[in-house]
């Protein structure tokens, strides 16, 4: 039997408590699987006195996570504090400086400092692993880094923020506007303290950038993820999209194109009857497309105590078993710097207009689209609503630039009663 793996855990929120609970309850099972004991030696959090529903009395307490990270009696530092900088980063760096392996659930820290931290880890001969940072309980980092390592990956897609998916699902099923559902989600505790991280697509964008690095062998480049949140999605568009056979998702897409690496986390339309289109409530889904495997779809809970703890433990167990890999699958120094794609690949678009009810209004719109080389796949005009006529257009594949020019030109016609909405239709 190998010597025990000794853990220090910093951050005792829901996930930290979940990890401790499993280590306490299932010690025998985990030892059978790893061939060694996994022991918690010390913990750290902001508030020592809070009741977390787990017994911490057997563990040393450190007020300072940096001090915890440097303790001689731990082998592995588990960082569950969150935040891209501050104590999480300081403690992670300290752990690596002391030759400790690190497991983290911190997508923000890795999306911004992942390359530097991975280099530091590899120089120190340490593991730095982050399964729990992406899509909660779905073992997507492992699937991509190891399970699909024989593939040239062509595209990664994902619904990776359960809160946004919950909001969009709830808007559709309850017929409630964004603001109301947003408030519901806040009341239910589904939103981060800064809700922009969720609804602005930032949190999901961090996750996408991490997966893109593994998939394409490139340095994490969160700064070049095109971000657009769900704040402007209306219930009208959700319902009209459904009429046309689509559902709106906050969808991450990363693909390597001839013009560079494209990374987007934006609202997209996907077919109602696709796995992504059918994904409801707070579930996450990641779609991995590779040269040999074809399309692999992974679905599961993207957050919560159990799922995230499951992912943290996956990394801990790998380390206990001696399964060691570079952070992003290949040595950090070998990751290339991707040229960001200047524009998204052409796609079909959903276009929703409100026109004044005047003769020739639709003709003006159609003419402008035609002049920009944008052809119309399907068009539907609805009956008058108050002062305007809703018109839906599904275009054939077009460049976003051409569409933007057309939309600018619409404004000059005087036929619009409202700002048009254009949403990309992702070919899933």
In 3D space, the residue among 22, 60, 26, 30 whose CA is nearest the CA of residue 44 turns out to be: 60
With respect to its own copies, which residue has the nearer C-beta, 84 or 154?
154
Work out whether 301 is an interface residue with its own copies (CB under 8 A).
yes
**To the nearest whole angstrom, how small is the minimum distance from the Cβ of residue 78 to its own copies?**
12
Q: Are strands 76-79 and 153-159 parallel, antiparallel or unpaired?
A: unpaired
CB atoms within 10 A of CB 196: 13
318 touches its own copies by CB under 8 A: yes
- Minimum CB–partner distance for residue 94 and its own copies (Å): 26
Q: Is 207 assigned a catalytic role?
A: yes
Q: Minimum Å distance from CB 274 to its own copies?
A: 10
Residue of the chain from 4, 245, 260, 300 that contacts its own copies (CB under 8 A):
300
Stretch that binds its own copies, among 114-122, 174-182, 302-310, 403-411 (CB under 8 A): 302-310
Tokens 């300072």, located at residue: 64
Query: Contact at 8 Å (CB) between 422 and 351?
Result: yes
Say how many residues touch its own copies, by CB under 8 A: 59
Tokens (6 digits) for 261: 């690496």
- Told to check if 277 binds its own copies by CB under 8 A, we report no
143 is a site residue for its own copies (CB under 8 A): yes
Smallest CA-to-CA distance from 46 within 11, 96, 17, 2 is with 11
Cα gap 96→70, rounded to integer Å: 9
Query: Would you say 299 or 400 has its CB closer to its own copies?
Result: 299
Other C-beta atoms lying within 10 Å of the C-beta of residue 2: 11
Nearer to its own copies, 119 or 138 (CB): 138
Residue 397 found at the interface with its own copies (CB under 8 A)? no
Binding flag, residue 219, its own copies (CB under 8 A): no
Per rule CB under 8 A, is residue 334 in the interface with its own copies?
A: yes
Site string for its own copies, 110-139 (x = CB under 8 A): ---------------------x-----xxx
Q: Beta partners for 155?
A: 255, 289
When asked if residue 272 is in the footprint of its own copies (CB under 8 A), the reply is no
C-beta closer to its own copies: residue 213 or 266: 213
User: In this complex, which beta carbon is closest to its own copies, that of residue 251 or of residue 406?
Assistant: 251
Counting Cβ atoms within 10 Å, is residue 175 exposed (0-12), middle (13-18) or buried (19+)? exposed
In the block, residue with structure tokens 């005009």? 381
Q: Which residue among 89, 107, 142, 207 is the active-site one?
A: 207
- Kindly state whether residue 379 participates in binding its own copies, applying the rule CB under 8 A: no
Q: From CA 334, how far away is CA 213, in angstroms rounded?
A: 11
CB of 422 to its own copies, least distance (A): 30
282 versus 351: smaller Cβ distance to its own copies:
282
What's the farthest any 2 CA atoms get from each other in the chain? 84
Closest CA to 276 of 394, 393, 396, 155: 155
Number of Cβ within a 10 Å radius of residue 286: 27
The secondary structure of residue 387, as a DSSP letter, is T
- Mapped onto helix, strand or coil, the DSSP state of residue 218 is strand
Binding site for its own copies (CB under 8 A): 18, 22, 26, 29-30, 32-35, 131, 137-139, 142-143, 146-152, 217, 273, 275, 278, 290-301, 304, 306-307, 309-314, 316-318, 321-325, 329-331, 334
């Amino acid at each position: 039997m190998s010597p025990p793996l000794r853990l220090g855990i910093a951050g005792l929120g829901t996930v930290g408590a979940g990890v401790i609970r499993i280590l306490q309850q299932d010690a025998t099972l985990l030892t059978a699987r790893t061939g060694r004991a996994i022991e918690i030696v010390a913990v750290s959090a902001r508030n020592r006195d809070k009741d977390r529903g787990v017994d911490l009395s057997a563990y040393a307490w450190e007020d300072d996570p940096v001090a915890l990270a440097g303790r001689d009696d731990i082998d592995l530092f588990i960082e569950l504090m969150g935040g891209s900088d501050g104590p999480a980063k300081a403690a992670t760096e300290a752990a690596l400086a002391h030759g400790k392996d690190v497991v983290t659930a911190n997508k923000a820290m890795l999306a911004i400092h992942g390359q530097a931290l991975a280099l530091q880890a590899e120089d120190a001969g340490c593991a730095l692993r982050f399964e729990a940072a992406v899509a909660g309980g779905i073992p997507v980092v492992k699937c991509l880094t190891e399970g699909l390592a024989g593939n040239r990956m062509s595209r990664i897609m994902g619904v990776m923020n359960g809160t946004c998916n919950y909001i969009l699902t709830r808007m559709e099923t309850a017929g409630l506007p964004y603001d109301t559902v947003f408030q519901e989600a806040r009341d239910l505790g589904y939103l981060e303290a800064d809700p922009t991280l969720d609804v602005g697509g930032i949190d999901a964008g961090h996750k996408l950038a991490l997966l893109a690095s593994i998939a394409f062998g490139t340095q994490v480049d969160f700064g070049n993820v095109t971000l657009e949140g769900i704040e402007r999605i209306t219930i009208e568009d959700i319902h009209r999209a459904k009429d046309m056979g689509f559902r709106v998702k906050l969808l991450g897409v990363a693909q390597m194109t001839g013009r560079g690496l494209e990374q987007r986390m934006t609202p997209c339309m996907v077919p109602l009857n696709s796995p992504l289109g059918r994904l409801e409530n707070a579930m996450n889904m990641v779609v991995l497309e590779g040269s040999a495997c074809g399309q692999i779809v992974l679905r599961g809970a993207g957050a919560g105590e159990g799922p995230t703890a499951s992912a943290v433990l996956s990394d801990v167990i790998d380390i206990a078993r001696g399964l060691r890999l570079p952070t992003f699958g290949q040595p950090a120094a070998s990751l290339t710097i991707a040229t960001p794609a200047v524009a998204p690949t052409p796609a079909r678009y959903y276009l929703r207009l409100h026109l004044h009810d005047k003769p020739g209004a639709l003709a003006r719109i159609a003419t402008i689209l035609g002049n920009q080389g944008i052809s119309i796949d399907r068009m539907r005009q609805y009956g008058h609503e108050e002062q305007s006529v809703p018109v839906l257009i599904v275009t054939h594949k077009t460049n976003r630039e051409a569409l933007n020019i057309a939309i600018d030109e619409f404004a000059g016609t005087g036929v619009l009663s409202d700002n048009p909405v254009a949403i990309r239709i992702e070919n899933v």
